[in-house]
Chain A
Amino acid sequence: MLQGTLRNPLASPFTLGISGGAAFGAALAIILGAGFSGTGRYLVIMNAFTFALLAAALVYGLSAVRGITAEAMVLAGVAMNFLFMALTSLLQYFGGAEEVKAVVFWLMGSLHTASWGRLIPVAVVSFVSLPLLLRRAWDLNALATGDEAARSLGTAVERVRVECMLLAVLLTASVICFTGIIGFVSLLAPHIARLIVGPDHRFLLPASAITGALVLLGADSLARTVVAPIELPVGIVTSFLGIPLFVYLLLRSKQVYWRGG
């Protein structure tokens, strides 16, 4: 979805600064002593969520200054991500050993704290946002032909872009505030899905969601078994698996399957 709105094959929550914001939020809560136990855990979750939204708001604010073009949003997002990464490092530098360990663990991302209870808010957000996104499927298709052309097809380009970004932020934030940063799924899944169902967002959006879930499940199973009984953080596995697969997909497709953005 983000790749569609921003017409950029590398767009993902990382490029929009959402992940960076969440990381900083979680780190802040942990370093300030919330820890992983008791009520503190919820503080970490809340803080990650809040800062993810804050990062997105900053990206939006920055890009709105010069009109909400795809390029402006990506650049602002990358800048925000670096800012929050630097802030997170700064926190770690000043934090105590135990806390830093907790932060690092969070940043690696893991499903081991997942439970049915925690799934409920994520599921609610997903079920609400998918129909809202699908409502915009044709607008996203129109955007593939360029902003001007989409506008002449009746798409309110800025509104669609903001709406989709809001939904993306909500979705991402609601997931990673529970799990920590799990990289590359969001980048990889849409590319796999696009190879299978093509670029029509009516099919691509649900297909990406399913692909993403499968990739994550696969990665998590691997993470739990590869060096059993030790359970690796799944974030490491997705990156290890994701990057070579991603490069392979790019090199394999002989057709020009992307033209500049």
Chain B
Amino acid sequence: MTIEVREISFRYGERTTLRGVSLEVRQGEVMGLLGPNGAGKSTLLKCIAGLLRPAEGTVHIGGREVTRIRPLERARLIGYVPQGSPDGFPFTVFETVLLGRIPHMGFSPGEEDLKAAAEAISLLELQEFAARRITELSGGERQRVLLAQALARGPEVLLLDEPTANLDLRGQLESLALMSEVARERGIATVVVLHDVNLAARFSHRLAILDRGRIFAAGEPRTVLTPTTVREVYHVNAVAGEALGAHYLVPISPA
């Protein structure tokens, strides 16, 4: 399914956080969302997830306006992983992943639900943790559990808000590689909010940079991540380069 965001604006009380944002993410494509703190990245993600209703403009998923899709059906279509880790009662890893099947099941999880949860767990290599409580895991492991939960839904759209925030170097690479592989194989339209511009460049087909609620630039990583853009948006001096076929950017100093 395709995500189409058309000219959306959003306000939190007096503060406008999104102004006329448009973007399109095709089936199987990964769109990296960049921008400084407070640029509106999480708000945009929540609008796409149908959790916030934009003041103006529309979000269409597979041609249907997202706020018009019934919550349970929306939950089946969209895997949304919010920032931070879950608090609350200590479910085991398996149970937490199984929660992702809520939109599919009745009072008891069926054969298919258990299978989907088990599959998601092995996909993220969480087997050895399956019976542990999530409260006993490290931040990074918990992050992977949440990604597994989102994938267990069997979503057409995947929305990830800083999925690498608590991960170490290897964990970041593993999670994002898995994300782009799954997106391609299953044809999932994916939007991922990241802070690390190089990880974003490496694992996204296209990037969009948000600045104070507007899309400042969007397109292929090498055209978007230029020293000029980075100076304008992040107020940081940087040099860009090319290595092993990948575009990279080294931040040097605050501008």
Q: List, in ascending order, chain A residues with CB within 8 A of B136's CB.
A: 255-256
> CA–CA, A141 to B88, complex, Å?
10
Q: Does residue A149 face the partner (Cβ distance < 8 Å to B)? A: yes
A212 in contact (CB, < 8 A): no
The answer, yes or no, to whether A231 is at the interface (CB within 8 Å) is: no
Q: Which of A65-91 contact B (CB under 8 A)?
A: none
Contacts of B219 in A (CB 8 A): none
Of the candidates A134, A156, A202, A255, the one having the most CB atoms from chain B within 10 angstroms of its own CB is A255
Instruction: List A contacts of B80 (CB < 8 A).
Output: 148-149, 152
A182 CB within 8 Å of chain B: no
Partner of B75, one of A145, A152, A258, A261: A152
Residue of A nearest to B75 (CB): A154
Chain A residues with CB below 8 A from B82, complex form: 146, 148-149, 152
Is there contact, CB below 8 Å, between B91 and A200?
Answer: yes
A31 in the interface (beta carbon within 8 A): no
B-facing mask of A168-204, CB < 8 A → 1, else 0? 0000000000000000000000000010001110100
Are B102 and A138 closer than 8 Å at their CB atoms?
A: yes
B127 lies within 8 A of chain A by Cβ:
no
A259 is an interface residue with CB less than 8 A from chain B: yes
User: A210 at the A/B interface (Cβ < 8 Å)?
Assistant: no
Q: Does A153 contact B (CB under 8 A)?
A: yes
Contact, CB under 8 Å: B86 / A144: yes
Binary interface profile of B, 161-192, with partner A (CB < 8 Å = 1, else 0)?
00000000000000000000000000000000
Query: In whole Å, how far is A11's beta carbon from the nearest beta carbon of chain B?
Result: 12
Contacts of B79 in A (CB 8 A): 152
Do residues B86 and A146 form an inter-chain contact, with CB atoms below 8 A?
yes
Is the C-beta of B89 less than 8 angstroms from some C-beta in chain A?
yes
Specify which chain B residues have a CB less than 8 angstroms from the CB of A134 in the assembled complex: 107
Contact present for A154 and B89 (CB under 8 Å): no
Q: Does B148 contact A (CB under 8 A)?
A: no
Provide the bound-state CA to CA distance between A153 and B36, in Å. Answer: 28
Residue from A145, A151, A257 whose CB has the most chain B CB atoms within 10 Å: A145
Q: How many A-B residue pairs have CB under 8 A?
A: 99
Q: Which of A7, A137, A153 contacts B100 (CB 8 A)?
A: A153
Partner of A154, one of B74, B90, B95: B74
User: Quick one: given A142-B99, A148-B82, are A153 and B75 in contact (CB under 8 Å)?
Assistant: yes
Using a CB-CB cutoff of 8 Å, which residues 94-110 of chain B contact chain A? 95-96, 99-100, 102-103, 105, 107-108
Instruction: Give chain B nearest CB distance to A52 CB in angstroms.
Output: 27
**Whole-angstrom CA separation of A198 from B95 in the bound complex:** 11
Near A by CB (< 8 A), chain B positions 126-162 give: 133, 135-136, 146, 149
User: Given A144-B86, A199-B89, A199-B91: A151 and B51 within 8 A (CB)?
Assistant: yes
Shortest C-beta distance, A157 to chain B (Å), equals 10
Q: Are A153 and B102 in contact (CB under 8 A)?
A: yes
A258:B102 contact, CB within 8 angstroms: no
Whether, in the assembled complex, A45 has its beta carbon less than 8 Å from a beta carbon of chain B, the answer is: no
A17 in contact (CB, < 8 A): no
Q: Which B58-104 residues have a C-beta within 8 angstroms of A?
A: 71-72, 74-76, 78-82, 84, 86-92, 95-96, 99-100, 102-103
Q: Which residues between 101 and 160 of chain A lie within 8 Å of chain B, taking CB atoms?
A: 134, 137-138, 141-146, 148-149, 151-156
Which B residues touch A198, using CB under 8 A? 91-92, 95
CB–CB A4/B102 < 8 A: no
29 contacts between A and B (CB under 8 A): A3-B89, A7-B88, A138-B102, A141-B99, A143-B88, A144-B88, A144-B91, A144-B99, A145-B86, A145-B96, A148-B46, A149-B80, A149-B86, A151-B71, A152-B79, A152-B80, A153-B99, A154-B75, A154-B76, A154-B102, A155-B71, A198-B91, A199-B90, A199-B91, A202-B108, A256-B90, A258-B90, A259-B88, A260-B87
Given A148-B46, A148-B82, A152-B80, 16 more A-B residue pairs with CB atoms under 8 Å apart are A7-B88, A138-B102, A138-B107, A141-B95, A144-B88, A145-B96, A149-B80, A151-B51, A156-B71, A194-B89, A198-B92, A255-B133, A255-B135, A257-B133, A258-B90, A260-B87
